[in-house]
């Protein structure tokens, strides 16, 4: 009987040794699933972080350029004030009755410029510069002694809001005579 117990003990030890050398396929499957789940979680976290960053950037952009529509509308007011001032002949400017009216219009125009400046709205430079299709819109070509492609007349001022074009400058461009 002692021999049978020893045999049983030897068989049990052999089974334990076999278990260590040949892993259970269920453990391998679970390990693989765990690794896949870990990867999925990492991808989901990265995607969530990217979405959060994108939304933060969109929020900043929306706040920065929220006044674009209003600013475009105000440009027509600025244009009309400038046209009114340009239309007044010099002999009428000397008249004391009209002088106060002109002073008021000029003050209003200056105040509008100051408000534009505080809100990041700047005038696009055009005169004497080469045509920049990102800032200028060529309306006509005029014979001129200036270098061809140079802006020689500004018909309507252009404006930027921060780093974006609000309205292109309408210009005349030089061509060879």
Same domain, 142 and 72: yes
pLDDT of residue 21: 58
pLDDT beneath 50: ranges in the chain: 1, 7, 9, 11, 18-19
| Domain tally, the chain | 2
For residue 15, the model assigns a pLDDT of 52
Instruction: Give per-residue pLDDT as tens, 32-66.
Output: 999 999 999 999 999 999 999 999 999 988 888 88
Q: Of 32, 47, 62, which closes a domain?
A: 62
Domain of 117, CATH number, reads 2.30.22.10
Query: How far is 72 from 69, CA to CA, in rounded Å?
Result: 5
In this prediction, residue 47 carries a pLDDT of: 96
pLDDT at 44: 94
How far is 83 from 70, CA to CA, in rounded Å?
A: 20
At residue 13, the pLDDT reads 53
DSSP letter for 129, please: S
Q: For residues 135 and 157, is the Cβ–Cβ distance under 8 A?
A: no
- Does 83 share its domain with 122? yes
Give pLDDT, residue 57: 94
Q: Do 6 and 92 belong together in one domain?
A: no
* Strand pairing report for 169-175 and 136-143: parallel
Taking a C-beta distance cutoff of 8 angstroms, is the pair 131, 173 a contact?
yes
Q: Which domain covers residue 30, as residue numbers?
A: 2-62
Sequence-separated (6 or more) residues with CB below 8 Å from residue 47: none
Report how far residue 141's alpha carbon sits from residue 153's, in angstroms, rounded to the nearest whole number: 10
Q: Which of 36, 62, 88 is the last residue of a domain?
A: 62
Estimate to the nearest angstrom the gap between the alpha carbon of 30 and the chain centroid. Answer: 47
Looking at the structure, tell me whether residues 93 and 160 fall in a common domain.
yes
């Amino acid at each position: 009987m002692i021999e049978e117990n020893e045999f049983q003990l030897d068989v049990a030890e052999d089974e334990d040794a076999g278990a260590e050398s040949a892993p259970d396929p269920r453990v391998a499957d679970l390990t693989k699933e765990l690794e896949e789940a870990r990867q999925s979680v990492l991808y989901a976290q990265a995607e969530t972080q990217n979405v959060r960053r994108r939304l933060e950037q969109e929020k900043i952009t929306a706040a920065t350029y929220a006044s674009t529509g209003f600013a475009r509308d105000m440009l027509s007011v600025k244009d009309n004030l400038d046209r009114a001032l340009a239309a007044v002949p010099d002999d009428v400017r000397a008249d004391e009755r009209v002088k106060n009216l002109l002073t008021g219009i000029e003050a209003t125009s200056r105040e509008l410029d100051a408000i534009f400046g505080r809100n990041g709205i700047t005038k696009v430079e055009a005169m004497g510069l080469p045509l920049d299709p990102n800032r200028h819109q060529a309306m006509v070509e005029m014979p001129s002694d200036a270098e061809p492609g140079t802006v020689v007349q500004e018909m309507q001022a252009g404006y930027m809001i921060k780093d974006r074009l609000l309205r292109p400058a309408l210009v005349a461009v030089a061509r060879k005579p």
